[in-house]
Amino acid sequence: MDLFDLTGKVAVVTGGTRGIGLMIARGLLQAGAARVYISSRKAEAGDAAVAELAEFGTAISIPADVSQEAECIRLAEEVGKREEQVHVLVNNAGATWGEDLEKFPESAWDKVLNLNLKAPFFVTRAFLPLLEKAASHEDPARVINIGSIAGLQPTAARTYSYSTSKAAVHQLTRNLSKELAPRRITVNAVAPGPFESKMMAATLAAAGDEMTKRVPLGRIGRPDDMAGIAVFLSSRAGSYLTGAIIPVDGGIAT
């Protein structure tokens, strides 16, 4: 169905070399995206992801540390050397930190907020010229921010800076959606529940069965669940949606 067809579109996924970012990159390629640029700090991780994605389409790795504004700008410039426009930007790069309240370090706030909150703002700003070139009244350019259900409700995990950063990402999404709508750019956020990823590996290993019991649908997320929402938001099917925070969590947020 062409309602979900992404043929010819160019996408950029930060943190696209593993976990949720890799799920999204694969889904965009499977839906017909012409090229998907993935970024992470480590070049070798990018190379491995490109090889893994090769069977689905063309993925290109550009390493960057998007916790720094200068790197956000450089990433946009590097993509701009190769592309005249970008149709879809996925702000997925993120980090977490768990520690008891009494021991939670200042460095954990700086590291997590720089990557989880500052990066989506500065990456989006850096890519605005390329997004505007792709945008039209009939088919807006898309920004997809990856939040978390930890930003929608309190969590038992002692990940204070993580949950705070994700709640802020949700509000940033709303603010940017209002500002960028007249420029024909939609901005939405996905709030994932538990998915198999490196960030969740320790939690799932320690309490995966118990976590699954708390999911109304009775399982953790699968790659297709994340790919599906990303394709929807990137395609004609999602062209009239902006400013939304969409839980993809098996019902936990209810």
State the pLDDT at residue 200: 58
- Residues 194 and 222 sit within 8 Å (Cβ to Cβ): no
Tens-digit pLDDT profile for residues 231-242: 999 999 999 999
Handedness of CA 227, 87, 96, 116 (dihedral sign): negative
pLDDT over 70 at 96, yes or no:
yes
Q: In what order do the strands lie in the sheet with 245-248?
A: 58-61, 35-39, 10-14, 88-91, 141-146, 185-192, 245-248
- What proportion of the chain, given as a percentage, has pLDDT over 90? 86
The rounded mean pLDDT for the chain is 94
State the pLDDT at residue 117: 97
pLDDT band at 202; cut points 50, 70, 90:
low
| Residue for token pair 């009775």 | 218
Give catalytic residues, as residue numbers: 162
State the pLDDT at residue 150: 92
Least confident stretch, 8-12, 128-132, 207-211: 207-211
How buried is 38 (Cβ within 10 angstroms: 0-12 exposed, 13-18 middle, 19+ buried)?
buried
- Return all residues near 54 (Cβ < 8 A) that are at least 6 apart: none
Tens-digit pLDDT profile for residues 148-199: 999 998 887 899 999 999 999 999 999 999 999 999 999 999 999 988 866 5
pLDDT over 60 at 201, yes or no:
no
State the pLDDT at residue 212: 83
Q: Domains of the chain, with CATH numbers?
A: 2-248 (3.40.50.720)
Task: Give the containing element (helix H, strand E) for 26.
Answer: helix 19-30
pLDDT over 80 at 1, yes or no:
no
**Which amino acid, residue 204?**
L
Tens-digit pLDDT profile for residues 31-46: 999 999 999 999 999 9
pLDDT over 80 at 56, yes or no:
yes
| Residue for token pair 């969409």 | 246
- Residues 251 and 194 sit within 8 Å (Cβ to Cβ): no
State the pLDDT at residue 203: 62
State the pLDDT at residue 207: 61
72-93: average pLDDT: 98
